[in-house]
Structure 1
Amino acid sequence: MIKKFYFFSNNYLKSGILVLFCLLSLSLIGQSKSPRKFCLPAELREVSGLVVNSADSLWWLNDGGNAAELFLTNGRGEIQAAIPLPSIINQDWEDLTHDDQGRLYIGDFGDNRRVRSELQVYCYDPHNGQIDSLQFAYPDHRFYDVEAFFWHQDSLHLFTKSRIQRANLTTYHYVVPARAGQYTAELRDSLQLRKRAVTAAAIHPETGQVALLAYYFKFRLGFIPYSAANVYYFTDYPEGHFLRGKLRSRRISLFLATQYESLDFLTPERLLVASEQTVFIKPKAKRIRWKE
């Protein structure tokens, strides 16, 4: 009986180890397909907008001064298609979002100098190649730099970017209809963030959870580049007033001069964030997890 007992235990142990090995192998395979961090190709060195179509289907755009084109990659950042849009120009593209029909909205509203009187959003339908556009202005002839927006319930929600300084930086929440036409943006809310300028925004279509990506940059001792970035999460807000919700934050970088400008939800618990190329760092993306 004793020998039989040990024989059974050894076989059971070997079987357990084999099962664990198989599970670990499958886990590693899954990680190889969807790595937590990955570099982006040189074509996306100034990446400024991201839409997660699925875990293995990602849309990207570059910011102003680059060609008017969209890029589709897999979950490892490898380009599957480059879509030129020759009928429009990339004056200062800053963010990318999508609606519940799969149409992509290109935010051509960057304005670092705060002088642009013509701001627009292009709507591109990947299914048929059709492109529409809408134009808007801010009330009272105001000028803002905007690098973050998302689509929600037939409207586009824009979040302004403050000039970076050692102070509380205000982001204003403006709203315009998500359809062709000319509009005056409606001011909805505002929020002050300590030394953080907003560069991207996203909303989860099922949970309604909102995320803002914001960073800070300066030169220490006049020549050493320094940056820090946070993701801010909003829940339990009055309908349409996202910045009034319960606020939580997570720091995603510190010290390294990383310029994060893109994000979107992968799942309710996971986000994908991306940064453009700097002098020392290549363009890259990474998955981050939010823990309640």
Structure 2
Amino acid sequence: MKLTTSTTNATNTTENIAIKIAALPSEIKESSGIEQAGKPGIYYTHSDANNPANIYKIDEKGNLLATITLNNAENVDWEDLARDNKGNIYIGDTGNNSNKRKVLKIYKLNPQDPDNLQEITFEYADRKNGTADKAHYEFDCEAIFWHQNKLHLVTKDREDGVQAKLYELPDKPGTYEAKLIEQYEVNQPVTSADISPDGKTLMLLSKGKIHLFHPTATGGFFGGKMQTLNLGKVGQTEGAVFTGNQELIITNEEGHLYRYSF
């Protein structure tokens, strides 16, 4: 896949707003990612950096159903979750606020066998000496998604909040270089990502907004014109997951759960 850079202007609409459906359990400190848990209305989520290495199973009423403690993991800076077609959960320990972390990690979890945790470690292939100092916040990632047997990471440009860079990794344990395949001037720092069940819509989340793309048959994820939708007054939105091709469940740092349809 060729690296592409796109700057197409966005189409904006404010027709719908997100609906608050529940408060998250108090055990969850600044929910930073959410993923489906295999049954309708049931989800996995987690706390942000420097909290216990736990995955929490919740329902849409905000009830805590189970806590999965990962004894072989550390929550350095967990930022997002993804799920493959076999039910494995990928935990992105990919936060890099100060750009000091060179080797990052994604945990691969079978929720039925949490003690058999696998690790995917990686460095960014395009990280060169001198390009990851405090003046270049290019290698902080809060958004991952799984698609066609690969993991995809979307970076959060913390310098100017403009350029979202999309990288690709194998979904198997090992040590890799994350390959840069696309980038797009989203104009907002990206905090989560997911792809719709039918594979036709890529969603990037930012503060109070979602950004929609339509992947093309030729392999580009940032296909067509970006569509930006305002969620309303939802605070600092950090995690989002498709529950249908046009419906999302969203979490924010303030501890609330939202539903949004478009």
State the TM-score, normalized to the length of structure 1: 0.76
Alignment of 1:219-238 (within 5 A): 229-238=208-217
1:260 to 232, 237, 246: 237
Deviation at 1:66, TM superposition (A): 0.4
- Aligned residues of 1:237 and 1:246 also touching (Cα < 8 A): no
- Structure number having the greater helix percentage: 1
1:239 is displaced (CA, Å) by: 4.5
Residues 165, 184 of structure 2: 8 Å contact kept: yes
In 2, Cα distance between equivalents of 1:176 and 1:264: 20
SS of the counterpart of 2:222? Answer: helix
CA-CA distance at 1:128 after TM superposition? 2.4
2:178 is equivalent to residue 185 of structure 1: yes
Deviation at 1:264, TM superposition (A): 0.2
The letter of the residue matching 2:258 is K
Number of the residue aligned with 2:168 = 175
* Paired AA for residue 120 in structure 1: K
Greater RCO (CA < 8 Å, at least 6 residues apart):
2
Q: CA deviation at 1:62?
A: 1.0
Give the partner amino acid of 1:199: T
- The yes-or-no answer on 1:272 pairing with 2:249 is yes
Q: Which amino acid aligns with 1:153?
A: Q
Measured in 1, the distance between the counterparts of 2:162 and 2:71 equals 37
1:160 and 2:155 matched: yes
Report the RMSD for the aligned CA atoms in angstroms: 1.7
Give the whole-Å Cα distance in 2 for the aligned partners of 1:141 and 1:162: 14
- Cα deviation per residue 1:200-221 (whole Å; 9 max; x = unaligned)? 0001232432111012xxxxxx
- Structure 1: distance between partners of 2:163 and 2:20: 32
Distance 2:215 2:223 in 1: 8
In 1, distance between residues paired with 2:124 and 2:193? Answer: 19
Larger Rg: 1
Give me the identity figure in percent.
30
Give the residue type in structure 2 aligned to 1:38. A
Report if aligned partners of 1:40, 1:78 keep a CA contact under 8 Å in 2.
Answer: yes
For 1:201, the equivalent position in structure 2 comes to 193
CA distance in structure 2 between the aligned counterparts of 1:236 and 1:48, rounded to whole angstroms: 25
Matched to 1:191, the amino acid is Y
Seen in structure 2, the aligned counterparts of structure 1 residues 239 and 59 have a Cα distance that, compared at 3 Å, is farther
2:235 corresponds to 1:251: no
Q: Which amino acid aligns with 1:245?
A: G
Q: Match of 1:280?
A: none
1:69 has 2:54 as partner: yes
> Displacement, 1:140?
3.8
Contact 2:200/2:215, CA 8 A, preserved across alignment: no
Q: What displacement does 1:176 show?
A: 0.7
Amino acid at match of 1:118: V
Measured against aligned partners, the alpha-carbon deviations of 1:150-194 in whole angstroms (never above 9, x if no partner) come to: 0111111100001165xx610100001111111111111101123
CA distance in 1, matches of 2:43, 2:219: 27
Return the offset for 1:234: 1.3
The correspondence of residues 100-139 of structure 1 with structure 2, limited to 5 A, is 100-129=85-114, 130-139=116-125
Q: Which runs of 5+ in 2 are unaligned?
A: 1-18, 133-138
